Amino acid sequence: MKVILAKKAGFCMGVRRAVETTLETVHKADGKIVTFGPLIHNPQVLSLLKEQGVDILTDIPDKLTGTVIIRAHGVPPVQKQRLLAAGAEVKDATCPRVMKVQAIIRKYRDRQYTTIIIGDKNHAEVVGLMGYAEPDVHVVSDENDLKDLRINGPYIIVSQTTQDEMAFNRLSSRIMESFPDGRVFNTICDSTHKRQEEVRNLSKKVQAMVVVGGRGSANTQRLGQIAEEMGCRVFMAETQEDLDFAAISRFERVGVTAGASTPTWMINRIVRALESCHGKGDSLFTFFFFSFLRSVMASNLFISLAGGLLALICRILQHSRPDARDFFVTFGYLFAIHNLNRYTDYKTKRLNDPRQEAFWRRYSMPLLVLSGFAMVLSIYFALQEGALHFVLLLIISLFGVLYSLPILPRIITNIIRVRKLKEIPGSKTFFVALAWSFVTVLIPAIHINALSPENLAVFLLISLFVFIRTVLFDVFDIQGDMIAGKETLPVCIGEKRSIRLLYSSMGLLAILLVVFTATGLTEQSGIWMLVPVLSLLLLTRLYEKKKLVQGIRLEFWLESHFYLIAASVWLGSSLS
């Protein structure tokens, strides 16, 4: 099925800020942490925050300890003062756009202006805004509210930040016609406006629209209304379990959008589920091919085979003949270690890719047995190459197993508060790159000669390729990792800095390829590896511009770069 994802789907700036503020508080603050009211309108996020120890405070007691986080929608100023008076540390996660509306209302209230809020009655944001406007405040939700509207003197009109702009313009014009002595402030968030316009445009390109978000989210419901007005069949989905696949399968092209409080990992769940759906016009071959591809990738067979080929290609880059034993040593090690780490990472996969997690839950025992067999195979061929190969492989295999176990001594854990190597912030990216380079470059190099500048040059090139691949995958999963408490490199430094780091790494990789080839540190065919570098650059750029839908196609493209490296070097070697 063809799935088109709206560019503006997912967390808006205010929601992202609120969630990140809460998670930062969880990781750094001591004592009880609560949010005053639901932080955002998404039950799944709230449930995950509860697992992190964040509860929801509904009433303000006389005495309160710990930290209270004010929800993204804001609260009336009286309630904020009561929280402070109760003795809690208060962190205000109100959306800056909502704060701007609060400031406008406060300014004109002090000038004796009446405030009219166009928005949904009883919505948390509207209740908070009313607290800044009281006592002279009116809420208008639709034309029926205009009948009883009475205004004496000057007034202002503001909007709930997630209102439909067309409805706001219609209602504000009607009010100004009846009561000319007013000022209109269009306080609809720019992100909301763009999100709604994108839904209108996307509705012209698809036959059905899936709107992802909490049932209590007003802006999510509004996106569904807009798509229906554009003539689209609309499916509202809080989770992938809400999807009616029997009905959706009647369409060839389906659009996906999401409310401002919907996390990226939930959108990715929906996209992956839709991609696996057999849509109208899809051939059975296409359906079964993608099903097979998902299984091969979920089992780590696809990437492990690529690693084995990479070991052979590294021989060529080091001016040596490939040895088939290196393929089996590398393939067996990667298959076993990747599956072991996948097995210990259920929680994050449940967020980022539940279908892969379900695959693992179903086939975990067969995969673990195969992984054990693959490790034995790897050790056997290492022994065939020599005792030193066996010892080195044993050391790196032991390191791979211990990576997920609590092995750090108490004196270290008391200082950095981690028990496992994998819990060291940002460590996974570097450990994965080193492990790949060790098993694809250094262990085979022992068979050729002692370590040389050529070996180290190829080691550096492969490390950079694997580093880029790992960072990209972590960028894809940044929100799920953040919620799960995983401190990957993108979680530590942020998505934008991670993207800049990727571009810098690709630039450095391209320079090194030219230099190493020109100086003879690698085989002349190594210059052909510029092709996969350019492909990685294109993938990163398209993802950054929201022109790629996260799912099996994107992951297949990324994982295929190791096959592209092998093909490029082999082709260059054949032509030279």
Same fold, 98-188 and 297-575: no
How many CB atoms are located within 10 Å of the residue 22 CB? 24
pLDDT for 512 = 96
Residue 116 backbone dihedrals phi, psi, to 5 degrees: -115, 120
The CATH classification number of 98-188 equals 3.40.1010.20
Are the C-beta atoms of residues 382 and 375 closer than 8 Å to each other?
A: no
Are the C-beta atoms of residues 336 and 372 closer than 8 Å to each other?
A: yes
Are the C-beta atoms of residues 96 and 14 closer than 8 Å to each other?
A: yes
> Does the domain made of 297-575 have the CATH classification 3.30.110?
no
Grouping H, G, I as helix, E, B as strand and the rest as coil, residue 375 is helix
pLDDT for 421 = 64
pTM: 0.79
Q: By CB neighbour count within 10 A (0-12 exposed, 13-18 middle, 19+ buried), where does 43 fall? A: middle
* Residues in Cβ contact with 326 at an 8 Å cutoff, skipping those fewer than 6 apart: 308, 311, 312, 315, 385, 443, 444, 447
Are the C-beta atoms of residues 15 and 95 closer than 8 Å to each other?
A: yes
Grouping H, G, I as helix, E, B as strand and the rest as coil, residue 545 is coil
Are the C-beta atoms of residues 285 and 537 closer than 8 Å to each other?
A: no
How many CB atoms are located within 10 Å of the residue 548 CB? 18
Of the residues 24, 89, 125, 177, only one is catalytic, namely: 125
pLDDT for 423 = 64
Per-domain residue ranges of the chain: 11-94, 98-188, 193-281, 297-575
* Residues in Cβ contact with 569 at an 8 Å cutoff, skipping those fewer than 6 apart: 313, 316, 317, 523, 525, 526, 528, 529
pLDDT for 333 = 93
pLDDT for 115 = 94
Q: Tens digit of pLDDT per residue, the chain (576 long)? A: 788 888 888 788 888 888 888 888 887 777 889 999 888 888 888 888 888 888 998 888 888 888 999 999 999 999 999 999 988 889 999 999 999 999 999 999 999 999 999 998 888 899 999 999 988 899 998 888 888 888 888 999 999 998 888 889 999 999 999 898 899 999 998 888 888 889 999 999 999 999 998 887 888 888 999 999 999 999 999 888 888 888 988 888 899 999 888 888 888 888 888 887 776 766 677 777 878 888 888 899 999 999 999 999 998 888 888 889 999 999 999 999 888 877 776 555 666 666 677 777 788 889 889 999 999 999 999 888 888 888 888 888 887 777 666 655 665 555 555 566 666 777 888 888 999 999 999 888 875 555 788 889 999 999 999 999 999 999 988 877 777 667 788 888 888 999 999 999 999 999 999 999 999 999 999 999 999 999 999 999 999 888 887 778 888 999 999 999 999 999 888 876
Active site residue 423: no
Q: Long-range CB contacts (< 8 A, 24+ apart) of 304-309?
A: 304/331, 304/334, 304/335, 304/338, 304/374, 305/331, 306/559, 306/560, 306/562, 306/563, 306/566, 307/331, 307/334, 307/436, 307/439, 307/440, 307/562, 308/334, 309/562, 309/563, 309/566
User: What does the alpha-carbon distance between residue 468 and residue 563 come to, in Å, rounded to a whole number?
Assistant: 15
* Residues in Cβ contact with 237 at an 8 Å cutoff, skipping those fewer than 6 apart: 210, 211, 212, 243, 270
Read off the amino acid at residue 86. A
Give the residue from 103, 43, 93, 48 showing the smallest Cα distance to 73.
Answer: 93
User: What does the alpha-carbon distance between residue 38 and residue 45 come to, in Å, rounded to a whole number?
Assistant: 10
Domain 11-94: give its CATH architecture.
3-Layer(aba) Sandwich (3.40)
The DSSP 8-state label assigned to residue 280 in this structure reads T
pLDDT for 75 = 92
What number of residues does the chain have?
Answer: 576
Are the C-beta atoms of residues 104 and 185 closer than 8 Å to each other?
A: yes
CATH topology of domain 193-281: Cobalt-precorrin-4 Transmethylase; domain 1 (3.40.1010)
- The residue written with tokens 């030279």 in the block is 576
Interhelix angle 453-476/495-519, rounded to 10 degrees, is 160
